A and B are shown apart, each in its own frame.
Chain A
């Protein structure tokens, strides 16, 4: 298998304001969100990052998407370093997170063309891909409706499509089905499986066990910013369900759930 993403010793800390210290009930002025995190993803696989809220999944993905810089460590994305060549990394990835919003004033049609232009996609190629995506997700009927007037599910579909205008080889999804109704969630999940079949590499973070079990080849468990397990789904589960294994590992590394 050919490695396409190699993450080595990523570390990210955030300064805590007095207000944040109070909320987190700590006297520490610095919070380590991700600590010495390493893993490898191979071309054509779906890699799942599993962890509870605040475990460090989103911070990891934001570093991979070059939105924030790591304090230590690096990640090589299809040969490009997130530290040294962030602009090159951005040409190779598609990143989708609920944190990224679309201008509500514009229509899906306009936004698709705008982001295609920013990614330097040739006009003809962009038009063909747009038609294909819009038909698949049923956006074509709403292509000229302002994003602000679309339903939450349709907005998410438009965000998804816009993040893939340049047909990237590596797709990073942060909580892809969060906040979606069951129908839209299924459309997104099916699309991820299609992308996998097309040979795309998908890095997906979630705390939904069933999603991981359904689409992931390998999984990395993150607890308190550290990678505590990383292997194929079968190897990690060892005959148990992913949920059972997660809590076993959690209690082993952190203590009982009640203590937390």
Chain B
């Protein structure tokens, strides 16, 4: 009977991979959905906040100073001079997104500027710029015009500059930027995907067998309950890994669209060692999650009951995944790597941010295996409990 664990694993695989619909919904669909969703979100955000390159905005200006005319004409705006009577009409056009910009200079703007004394305490000449922030083109030209006028104002009384040279004043390397971004995003996404994957397979396999009455058929065979528990957990972990991997690949492929082309993300900074350690952490995390959900499922009377009981755990996992974002120096406290789920999140964070220490990874994987082992033993006991297995 030594190979009964293997027999159970083979049966679980045959059950899962023999059902094309299940393979599609559990493995292919998550990755595909994540890719489509994130790519779509990225494109929508890009389109929402940027205007077309060749767009010429329609701007209306009152009292345009001759000194500023050449500069303003460099903007991608077709300027139309207006009088005071037309201001209300243009404002309505702005609201209705028909016009893009309305600029009102005081009469004799340049003369007022030249005669203005800061120490007089009087209000400075005021330029009014009306735009519509709900229209990307209007927002864009507003930003450009404001920057231009601020630059013009600075040139009138320039005392000192900040970072006026051509140097790269931010000393963070592209690797640091990639690490910071990945460390912030990926542990949470990975944990969410892994938990979703586990919850999509474990309740069906354990609570589902109880609900369908097929678990009793297994329990009257001479197979050891530990073989059943181990076989279930190993096979479910493999399936959940594939599902999690699918979501992960979908995320990685859609990240450039989601983050925008200027983010400078480059996964080539991560070495094979980083990937292997990450794989070890992910594998041991899946074992913990599958064991945990299996125990809950073994107590549940139906798939529905198991899934709803696991729901608070989903929220808990997401909250724990956010912990590294809240600051503090948890990565330096080795004790944190003894706590299940949090240790995986911290470990992923340290790998992605290039701060990983091998001890942390070893403690995390070791502790996860201990927790998974303890829960497998617990599952064995539950399979032996007639109250848990046969209660109506």
Interface residues of A (CB under 8 A from B): 65-69, 87-88, 90-91, 93, 95, 99-106, 110, 114-115, 117-120, 162-163
Contact = CB atoms under 8 A, between A and B. Distances in A.
B15 A117 contact: no
B319 to A, nearest CB: 35
Closest 5 CB pairs of A and B: A101-B213, A90-B222, A68-B386, A100-B217, A118-B221
A100 B213 contact: yes
15 contacts: A65-B220, A67-B216, A67-B220, A67-B386, A67-B390, A69-B386, A99-B213, A100-B213, A100-B216, A110-B14, A114-B7, A117-B4, A118-B1, A118-B7, A118-B218
A67 B14 contact: no
B223 A118 contact: yes
Nearest to A63: B386
Contacts of A163: 220
Interface string B183-217: 00000000000000000000000000000111011
B219 A67 contact: yes
Contacts of A69: 386
A99 B216 contact: yes
Given A101-B214, A114-B7, A120 B15 contact: no
A95 B7 contact: no
Contact of B214 (A66, A67, A87, A102): A102
A83 B11 CA distance: 29
B312 interface: no
B125 to A, nearest CB: 80
B224 A87 contact: yes
A204 to B, nearest CB: 16
Interface in B1-22: 1, 3-4, 7, 11, 14-15, 18-19
A101 B7 contact: no
A199 B221 CA distance: 22
Contacts of A95: 220
B217 A101 contact: yes
A117 B18 contact: no
B386 A103 contact: no
A90 B224 CA distance: 10
A68 B392 CA distance: 14
Nearest to B18: A105
Contact of A105 (B15, B216, B223, B390): B15
A253 B114 CA distance: 120
Interface string B123-138: 0000000000000000
**Chain B contact surface mostly:** helix
A161 B390 CA distance: 24
A120 B1 contact: yes
A120 B224 CA distance: 12
B220 A101 contact: no
A119 B205 CA distance: 21
A110 B7 CA distance: 12
Contacts of B218: 118
Identify which of A65, A102, A120 gathers the most chain B CB atoms within 10 Å of its CB.
A120
Contact of A115 (B213, B221, B386): B221
A72 B224 CA distance: 24
Contacts of B3: 117
Given A87-B222, A118-B218, 5 more contacts: A100-B213, A105-B19, A106-B14, A115-B221, A162-B217
A209 B390 CA distance: 29
Nearest to B8: A118
B131 to A, nearest CB: 62
B220 A90 contact: yes
B222 A119 contact: yes
A69 B385 CA distance: 9
B6 to A, nearest CB: 9
A106 B174 CA distance: 53
A65 B386 CA distance: 13
Nearest to B224: A87
Nearest to B16: A105
Identify which of B3, B222, B224 gathers the most chain A CB atoms within 10 Å of its CB.
B222
Contacts of B224: 87
A114 B214 CA distance: 13
A99 B15 CA distance: 21
A101 B212 contact: yes
Contacts of A65: 220
Given A65-B220, A68-B390, A110-B14, A118 B213 contact: no
A115 B223 CA distance: 10
B338 to A, nearest CB: 36
Interface string B219-248: 111111000000000000000000000000
Nearest to B19: A105
Contacts of A90: 220-222
A102 B217 contact: yes
Contacts of B216: 67, 99-101
A117 B11 CA distance: 11
A237 B221 CA distance: 37
A114 B231 CA distance: 14
B47 to A, nearest CB: 46
A110 B212 CA distance: 18
Given A68-B386, A117-B3, A120-B1, A106 B217 contact: no
Contact of A118 (B214, B222, B390): B222
A118 B220 CA distance: 10
Contacts of B11: 114
B215 to A, nearest CB: 9
B317 to A, nearest CB: 30
A41 B4 CA distance: 32
Contacts of A162: 217
Nearest to B386: A68
A69 B218 CA distance: 17
B8 to A, nearest CB: 8
A118 B14 CA distance: 15
A110 B14 CA distance: 10
A162 B386 CA distance: 23
